[in-house]
Amino acid sequence: MNTLDHVYAYIETHREDALARLFDYLRRPSISAHGEGIAEVAEYIAGVLGGLGLSAEICPTEGWPMVFAASEQIPSRPTVLLYGHYDVQPPDPIDAWVSPPFEPTLRNGRIYARGVGDNKGQHFAQLLAIEALLAFQDELPCNVKVLLEGEEEVGSPHLAPFVSENKARLAADLVITSDGPVHESGRACIMFGVRGVAGFELRAHGARSDLHSGNWGGVAPQPVWQLVHLLSTMRSPEGRITIEGFYDDIEPIGPLEREALRRIDVSHATIKESLGVDRLDTPADRGVAERLCEWPTLTINGLHAGYGGPGMKTVLPCVASVKCDMRLVERQTVERVLERVEAHVRRHAPDVEFIRYGGMDPSRTPMESPYTEPLRAAVHHAQGEEPLLIPALGGSLPDYVFTKILGVPAFTVPYANPDEANHAPNENLEIERFFAGIRTGAAMLWHLGQTG
Ligand SMILES: [Zn+2]
């Protein structure tokens, strides 16, 4: 037997103990939305990290604290930064829970508790992996740093400044996050990036107040038409975003990405069926996976003006507004894209008000990374199946703090079942996925150690 087989056997014989300790963690609320239990749980998890022999500290921020820990750093070995978050979403509505959110319960092969998938169960699995490795060797196969945030569920407002101010302390060769669900098919996966997001609002103004459309139509300016015309200059019916310079910075799709997209693609017919539609958005011929991973979007979130009540009202409204979001891909930035939208609005409708809502930059780790292969091999070894490689998540997470601020490749290797019900009542984690997570955590550190 090699070391990893011993480690897996150790994990197997310590199942009861692992579950008991996870339950102890889950019983402690740590709700970042209003602060309940945050300070206590930061102390608690710092204690767990210290118990593994890591130097652990609680780092204050202007919000809830970060918990940081590091193993002894041996220069010849690669350094892995494990990121997770110890805060959880509020459990409301409490009445919809079958068992109380902070009394972890086993049912149908699953652990039910607030935070079990998002994210306590997943990063606790990483910590148990460290413990299992240390049961067989005095040193870890690679240097490990752990960063646990207390504000992920409220949008990570202090993560970027914390990483900027602590680059030396957080210095690593790669970052691994275990959060979110595995692929919707249930297959293990490794994710290499996320799309960014940026938002804005446009407001068109007419007369001082709403007017009679018969007395003033054709005389007073019409803000609703103005907005409709402006919007029509921003995206063509063929689906091309026509804001000047919008596509300028986009990274072309590489061969490994193409191959990965081919493997995870879903047919148009399947998507049409599941959405109850007979056509998809333009351009019609583009694959679904490619749309979600590789292309930016401009979505109208809401368009508001005038009368929408029963019957007719012959009014000429004096104001119209629209809210939009854009999903961004590597190497677009929130700053540059919003500048281009603003310049476009200034050119086409100079008197329309432009309001920025900020956003989050995209993040992408190249699939050619030297760490792709050890991580792939580790997941395969620990879970017995080939993981799907996903170039990017369609949604947005603050991974850019690692790839852009810290400047290192970042990978997400999720452990939770697709129906984990995170943020919802009856959040759960399949028991076997928790143990697969511990094995995967150990295998990743072991395989990464071989690259040193
Ligand atoms: Zn969450």
Measure 153 CA to ligand 1 centroid, in angstroms. 5
Nearest Cα neighbor of 70 from 53, 87, 45, 47 is: 53
Measure 444 CA to ligand 1 centroid, in angstroms. 24
Query: Which tokens hold the place of 69?
Result: 């820990």
CA distance linking residue 265 with residue 118, whole number of Å: 26
Measure 155 CA to ligand 1 centroid, in angstroms. 9
Per-residue model confidence (pLDDT) at position 2 = 81
Measure 246 CA to ligand 1 centroid, in angstroms. 31
CA distance linking residue 162 with residue 66, whole number of Å: 9
Per-residue model confidence (pLDDT) at position 1 = 62
Instruction: Return the HEC string of 34-75.
Output: CCECHHHHHHHHHHHHHHCCCEEEEECCCCCCEEEEECCCCC
Measure 217 CA to ligand 1 centroid, in angstroms. 50
| Burial environment of residue 215 by CB neighbours within 10 A (0 to 12, 13 to 18, 19 or more) | exposed
Measure 283 CA to ligand 1 centroid, in angstroms. 32
Per-residue model confidence (pLDDT) at position 358 = 87
CA distance linking residue 231 with residue 350, whole number of Å: 13
Nearest Cα neighbor of 19 from 329, 430, 452 is: 430
Measure 39 CA to ligand 1 centroid, in angstroms. 19
**Residues 49-107: pLDDT tens digits?**
999 999 999 999 999 999 999 999 999 999 999 999 999 999 999 999 999 999 999 99
Per-residue model confidence (pLDDT) at position 299 = 97
Cα 160–chain centre separation: 15
CA distances from 120 to 34, 206, 390 (A): 18, 52, 23
Three-state secondary-structure class, residue 405: helix
Q: What angle do CA 338, 340, 343 make, to 5 degrees?
A: 110
Single-letter amino acid code for the residue at 309: G
Measure 115 CA to ligand 1 centroid, in angstroms. 8
Residues 6+ apart with CB under 8 A from 98: 107, 112, 426
Measure 118 CA to ligand 1 centroid, in angstroms. 5
Alpha helix stretches (DSSP H) within 233-295: 255-264, 268-275, 288-294
Residues 6+ apart with CB under 8 A from 192: 364, 365, 366, 367, 369, 389, 390, 391, 392, 411
CA distances from 158 to 6, 195, 335, 422 (A): 40, 20, 19, 22
Measure 415 CA to ligand 1 centroid, in angstroms. 14
Per-residue model confidence (pLDDT) at position 282 = 96
Q: How far apart are the first and last CA of the chain?
A: 22
CA distance linking residue 144 with residue 74, whole number of Å: 10
Per-residue model confidence (pLDDT) at position 162 = 98
Measure 117 CA to ligand 1 centroid, in angstroms. 9
Residues lining ligand 1 (ion), CB within 5 A? 118
Secondary-structure breakdown of the chain: helix, strand, coil percentages, each rounded to the nearest 5 = 35, 20, 40
CA distance linking residue 256 with residue 389, whole number of Å: 10
Measure 449 CA to ligand 1 centroid, in angstroms. 30
pLDDT tens across the length of the chain (452 residues): 688 999 999 999 999 999 999 999 999 999 999 999 999 999 999 999 999 999 999 999 999 999 999 999 999 999 999 999 999 999 999 999 999 999 999 999 999 999 999 999 999 999 999 999 999 999 999 999 999 999 999 999 999 999 999 999 999 999 999 999 999 899 999 999 999 999 999 999 999 999 999 999 999 999 999 999 999 999 999 999 999 999 998 999 999 999 999 999 999 999 999 999 999 999 999 999 999 999 999 999 999 999 999 999 999 999 999 999 999 999 999 999 999 999 999 999 999 999 999 899 999 999 999 999 999 999 999 999 999 999 999 999 999 999 999 999 999 999 999 999 999 999 999 999 999 999 999 999 999 999 86
Measure 423 CA to ligand 1 centroid, in angstroms. 6
Tally of CB atoms within 10 A around 192 = 27
Measure 89 CA to ligand 1 centroid, in angstroms. 7
Measure 316 CA to ligand 1 centroid, in angstroms. 44
Per-residue model confidence (pLDDT) at position 17 = 98
Measure 40 CA to ligand 1 centroid, in angstroms. 20
